[in-house]
Structure 1
């Protein structure tokens, strides 16, 4: 590896503003760089469906060894405030002046991928096909991954099924292999308006109906692999009007979609009890935001990468995580993903920083994995 080249590339990328739906300039930078590195390029235009300005990028670096190869994946968008971010290298840390996010999530991952491929090519290391998949809008609901037009990708450009997503917070050595599905829920309670001061008994307070239902719902940590959260309650009426509408929004996550549906049925039961006791009605809507991520090879791929870390004297840890990422969406297409740490800390805040030695370890592990074929 060339440490200084990696850092120069990372700093240059960190100073290209690429918030969600506005990654276009950064995507052009990456496409030009990959072409200079000898990649074949395919650009997916799913962004036209949700109003973004950047394609998802597939870059293929053809190998000289037969086999399925590997896919390295990351996302191009960063969390605001990030405009005019200036990267500061302070010893082993890359940070900003504290007024913006750094964007190491996930430009640190992209820098590791770029340096990995440069190293492989410079050292003339024999390798199978290497695919790079970079998406926009991961931070606002994985829109790039969700709108990938997979059926339009030419057969010779379709990425390898084993996918390493370089987008995990924390140190190198962390290998996430499973993540939950998330369902969004909305419950609208319908009551009856009345004058709150003159004849409140003629009304049905929708907030009260919602409150009773909520008090009988299991919210928070439900079991080891299931969580629920109510994040919004909306009902805006003058104080002299009994409110007739109250809407609540939230989510349920679990590593079992059947378990999520069980929780939804329990929520319906709580709502039924509430309207039976207090009157009114309700309508509960739900939809799957993303599916479960789980290994489809009995952890063989994850354990192979753990062995690479151990050979480099980097302690490894296989993890089940509670958040979602592009990996959950790619799982629908049959990709077998692991998500590895790259040294990010305090992500999504202006205190974000990246540990350089962890970034280097991640890059070294990627090179070694590809060397092993």
Structure 2
């Protein structure tokens, strides 16, 4: 591994502005790099479904060893503000001047992939087929992964089922293998307008219906593997009018979709009781935003990669996490993902930084895992 090149490449990457839905320049940069490494490329144009401008990049580097191969995955978009990143290297970390995010999430993962591929090629290291999958718009609802048209992906370039998703916060050695499903719900409470100062008795306050319903809902930490949150309560009525409309939006996450559906049923019962108490009507809608991520091989893949970390003197931790990622979407297509980190911290903030040594460690582990 060329450590200096790895860092130089990371710096080059973060200077290419690629917020969600605007990753085209970075995707073109990555296609050029992957072609130089001898990869076969396929571009999925699912971005047309959500108003983006960048394809999902599929790549395959043919191996010289028989086997199922491995997939290296990351996402190309970053969290704003990220224009004109001014990287500072200091005391073993890379950070910004505090005016932008760094973009280590997830260009640290992309840089890791590129250096691993370059090292393997330069040293003529034997390997099975290597697949690369780079998605746009991960940070904005996993839209890139959700909108892949898998029926159009050529069979010979469809990724290997075992997938290393290099997109975890924290140090090298942490291996996330299980993540929850997330359902979004929306409730519209409907009351009746009236003048709030002259004849409020003639109205039915939609905000009051919402309050009565929410007061009956179990929200927050529901159990060890289940959470719920309401993030939006909105009524646009002026204060001198009894509001006839109130909109509520929230989410439920759990490692059991049965548990989520049970909670949704309880929330609907709470709405019915509120309407019975206050009057008015309600409309309840919900949708699965992403499914659960669970190992498909009794943690065999996760443990294999843990052994690689351990052989390099890196302590490991197999983790169940509470967030979602592209891995959840890929799981629906039969992919067996583990999520590993490259030392990125304080992600999604202008205090984001990346620990250089942790980036080295995971890149070394990826090279060693692929080497045969």
The two structures have a TM-score, normalised by structure 2, of 0.99
Counterpart Cα distance in 1 of 2:185 and 2:173 = 35
Counterpart Cα distance in 1 of 2:143 and 2:217 = 31
Does residue 1:197 correspond to 2:197, yes or no?
A: yes
Residue 91 of structure 1: CA displacement? 2.7
Residue matched to 1:114: 114
Residue matched to 1:236: 236
Does residue 1:292 correspond to 2:292, yes or no?
A: yes
Equivalent residue runs for 1:1-373 within 5 Å? 1-371=1-371, 373=372
Residue 25 of structure 1: CA displacement? 0.6
The two structures have a TM-score, normalised by structure 1, of 0.99
| Matched position secondary structure for 2:327 | helix
| Matched position secondary structure for 2:74 | strand
Q: Deviations over 1:304-330 (max 9, x none)?
A: 111111111100000000000000000
Number of residue-to-residue matches in the alignment? 372
Asked if 2 retains the 8 angstrom alpha-carbon contact of 1:181 and 1:254, the reply is yes
Counterpart Cα distance in 2 of 1:237 and 1:49 = 34
| Matched position secondary structure for 1:192 | coil
| Matched position secondary structure for 1:170 | coil
Residue 86 of structure 1: CA displacement? 1.8
Counterpart Cα distance in 1 of 2:6 and 2:342 = 13
Asked if 2 retains the 8 angstrom alpha-carbon contact of 1:70 and 1:128, the reply is yes
| Matched position secondary structure for 1:288 | strand
| Matched position secondary structure for 1:151 | coil
Counterpart Cα distance in 1 of 2:6 and 2:317 = 25
Counterpart Cα distance in 2 of 1:363 and 1:322 = 25
Q: Deviations over 1:60-84 (max 9, x none)?
A: 1100001110000000000000001
Q: Deviations over 1:96-132 (max 9, x none)?
A: 1000000000000000011111111112111000001
| Matched position secondary structure for 2:343 | strand
Counterpart Cα distance in 2 of 1:81 and 1:197 = 45
Counterpart Cα distance in 1 of 2:60 and 2:159 = 8
Asked if 2 retains the 8 angstrom alpha-carbon contact of 1:14 and 1:86, the reply is no
Unaligned stretches of 5+ residues in structure 1: none
Q: Deviations over 1:336-368 (max 9, x none)?
A: 000001100000000000000000000011011
Counterpart Cα distance in 2 of 1:293 and 1:70 = 18
Counterpart Cα distance in 2 of 1:238 and 1:308 = 62
Q: Deviations over 1:267-304 (max 9, x none)?
A: 01111111111111101000011111101111110111
* Runs of 4+ more than 3 Å apart: none
| Matched position secondary structure for 2:19 | coil
- RMSD between aligned alpha carbons? 0.7
| Matched position secondary structure for 2:288 | strand
| Matched position secondary structure for 1:322 | coil
| Matched position secondary structure for 1:66 | coil
Asked if 2 retains the 8 angstrom alpha-carbon contact of 1:179 and 1:324, the reply is yes
Counterpart Cα distance in 2 of 1:245 and 1:10 = 49
Counterpart Cα distance in 1 of 2:271 and 2:45 = 42
